[in-house]
Amino acid sequence: MERSFGEAHQRAFAGLSGDWNPMHMDARAARRTPAGFPVVHGVQSMLWALETLLAEPVPGVIRQIDADFARFLFVDDEAQLAVTKRTDTEIRAELRCKGARISGYTLRFGALPAASPFAGEAGTIAYDAARTDPLPLGWEEVAAAAGTVSLGPDPVETYPRLCAAIGRARVRGILALTRLVGMVSPGLHSTFHRINAKIVEDEAGVAEELRFRTVQADERFQLVTIETAAPGLRATVKASRRAPPTAQPSSDVLRRDFRPRPASGRKVLVIGGSRGIGEVTAKLLGLAEVETFLSYASGHEDAEAVRDEIAAEGGRAHVLRFDALADPVPQLSALPDDLDSVYFFATPRIAMRGGAGFDAALFRHFCAIYVEAFGRLCEALAARGAHPVTVFYPSTVFVDEAPHGLAEYAMAKAAGEVLAADITRHSQTVRVISVRLPRMATDQTAGMIAQEMPSTAAVMLPLIDRIEGSIAPG
C-alpha cells in the first residue's frame, strides 16, 4: 500500500489527537527544527498502517503493539507499507519512503493480561482537552514530568477496523500518546522514538485520561522513557528533547563584537540568507556597507526580519525569492548586472542515512542542490556579461571524515568542490572560492554531532573580508 499525508491530513489528525506541535503544523516553525520541513505525526502513520494491516484477517486478539520511528516522514512524501513477517503469533511491517526505512510496526496476538496498577504518585501536570499550546519544558522539567493528559474524541470514523479490534477507548489512549510527547513532555521541542503498548483487560471505573510519569532520563542525549496508563492500555514511550531553534546573533551584537572591513560600493547576493550561516553572512555584509540582496526559498518572513535588522544598523538590503532548483536565469534578471559576489547557502534537508550501505537516492537529493543547481547558477552568472563575479561555495570538513550516516552529504559536497575548481579554471568571469567550513550551530545541524563549535560570525568574517577584496586572495 502507498500513501502520502498532506496538510489536510495533518489538520484532521491534530484535531483528533490534540497534537498541534508546530513541527507538524507550521512550515515556518518546522524549518527551524532539524527536520527543516513539516513532518507527519509518527502515530498518524502508525495508525494508518495498523488500519491497513487489519483489512485482512489476523490470527487472533491483538495483545501488544510496538512501533519505532527511525526517520522523519515529510508532509506530501509518498510512503509504502510492506509486511516483512507474518506468523500465527505476530505481524511485522515497515513504512518506507524513497527506499529508506521510516518506521517499523509489530502486532502480537494472544490472551490479554490483567491490567497492572499504575505505579507512582499523581503528578503536577494536568493537560486538559482544550489546550493547543505545547509546553516549552526545560530538561529538568522533562526529566521529572508526571501527570495526566485528557483523551480526545471518538476515533471510530477514522480508524474503524482498529477500534473494532482493540476498542475505541484504547485507540483514544494511543492517540493521547502523541499528544503527551508533542504537547506535554518533552512538549514543544520533542522527537518521538518508540512505543511499546500492551493491550490489557477492560477496566471498570477508571478515569478517561492518560496518566504518565518519566521513569528514566538520560541528560547526555536528552532522552526520556515515560510509562503511561489509559483505560485498557499500558504503554512505555521513548522520546527526546531536541535543541530549541538556533538563534543567530543580531546585527547590533555583530557590530559590537565583530568589525567587518568596509567594502562600500559592492553588490552582493546571498542565496539562503534568511537563516543560519547565510543570515549571519548577510548581516556582516550589511555592516561592511555592502548593498546586499538576500534570498529565501520558503522563509519570507525570516528574510524580511534579517533585512530589517540590517536596515536598523544603517545597511542596505533587499529581499527576493530564489529557488535554487528552478532556472536561475529569470530569477537573476531581477538583480543588477554588476553583481560583485554571490554566496551560495542553498541547502536541501540534511537528512541522515537510516541504515547501512550507500543510499543512492539520498546522494542524488544532495547533488541536486550542491552540484547541479550550483553549476546552473554559475553558468547563468557567466552568461550575464563581462562583469567579473566571485562565488563562494561552502563545503564542509565532513569531506575529510564523514560522520556515520552523512557519507552521501559529504560526497555531494566533494563533487561540488571539483565543479567549483573546474569553473574557476575555465570561466572568464566567474571565480569560485570553496572553503571547507567547520560544523557551526544552525537549525539543521543542531544535535547532529556533539562537539564544541566555533562562532558562525568568527568563521565567516575573514572569508567575507577576503571575498569582498579587503584581503588579497590566498
Q: Is the pTM of this model over 0.85?
A: no
Segment 158-172 shows an average pLDDT of 97
The arrangement of strands across the sheet holding 316-321 comes to: 316-321, 291-296, 267-271, 341-344, 389-396, 430-437
Tell me which of 241, 261, 284 is where a domain ends. Answer: 241
pLDDT at residue 179, rounded to an integer: 98
CATH code of the domain containing 162: 3.10.129.10
**209 and 304 in a common domain:** no
278 compared with 444, residue with greater pLDDT: 278
List, for residues 242-280, the tens digit of each pLDDT value: 888 878 888 989 988 887 888 889 999 999 999 899 999
pLDDT at residue 125, rounded to an integer: 92
CA dist 129 and 206 (Å) reads 17
List, for residues 190-202, the tens digit of each pLDDT value: 999 999 999 999 9
CATH code of the domain containing 385: 3.40.50.720
**330 and 197 in a common domain:** no
Judged on CB neighbours under 10 Å (0-12, 13-18, 19+), 250 is middle
**304 and 193 in a common domain:** no
pLDDT at residue 374, rounded to an integer: 98
200 within domain boundaries: yes
Domain hosting 31: range is 2-241
Could you list the beta-strand ranges (E) of 231-290: 233-241, 267-271
Take residue 350 and report the three cell numbers written for it: 540534511
**91 and 25 in a common domain:** yes
**180 and 126 in a common domain:** yes
Segment 101-117 shows an average pLDDT of 95
83 within domain boundaries: yes
Task: Answer yes or no: is pLDDT of 317 > 70.
Answer: yes
Cα-based distances in Å from 283 to 95, 137, 216, 274, 342: 42, 31, 43, 10, 14
Residue 97, H or E segment: strand 90-97
pLDDT at residue 191, rounded to an integer: 95
**146 and 97 in a common domain:** yes
pLDDT at residue 23, rounded to an integer: 95
pLDDT at residue 352, rounded to an integer: 55
Q: At which residue does the C-alpha cell 543588477 appear?
A: 336
473 within domain boundaries: no
List, for residues 54-99, the tens digit of each pLDDT value: 999 999 999 999 999 999 999 999 999 999 999 999 999 999 998 8
448 within domain boundaries: yes
Q: How many domains does the chain have?
A: 2
Judged on CB neighbours under 10 Å (0-12, 13-18, 19+), 271 is buried
β-strand 146-150 against 190-199: which pairing, if any?
Answer: unpaired
**366 and 327 in a common domain:** yes
129 within domain boundaries: yes
pLDDT at residue 120, rounded to an integer: 64
Contact indicator for 221, 240 with CB cutoff of 8 Å: yes
pLDDT at residue 99, rounded to an integer: 81
Q: From the CA atom positions of the chain, what is the Rg in Å?
A: 25
Confidence of residue 48 (pLDDT cuts 50, 70, 90): very high
**84 and 212 in a common domain:** yes
Tell me which of 241, 261, 280 is where a domain ends. Answer: 241
9: left (phi over 0), alpha (psi -120 to 50) or beta: alpha
Contact indicator for 452, 403 with CB cutoff of 8 Å: no
Q: What is the mean pLDDT of the chain?
A: 91
288 within domain boundaries: yes
Q: At which residue does the C-alpha cell 490470527 appear?
A: 59
Percent of the chain with pLDDT over 70: 94
Confidence of residue 453 (pLDDT cuts 50, 70, 90): confident
Tell me which of 241, 276, 302 is where a domain ends. Answer: 241
**158 and 33 in a common domain:** yes
309 within domain boundaries: yes
Task: Answer yes or no: is pLDDT of 355 > 60.
Answer: no
Task: Answer yes or no: is pLDDT of 473 > 80.
Answer: no
DSSP codes joined into one string, 19-32: ---HHHH-HHHHTT
**136 and 30 in a common domain:** yes
Cα dihedral 136, 138, 143, 147 sign: negative
**315 and 195 in a common domain:** no
Take residue 199 and report the three cell numbers written for it: 493491550
246 within domain boundaries: no
**318 and 229 in a common domain:** no
DSSP codes joined into one string, 392-408: EEEEEGGGTSPPTT-HH
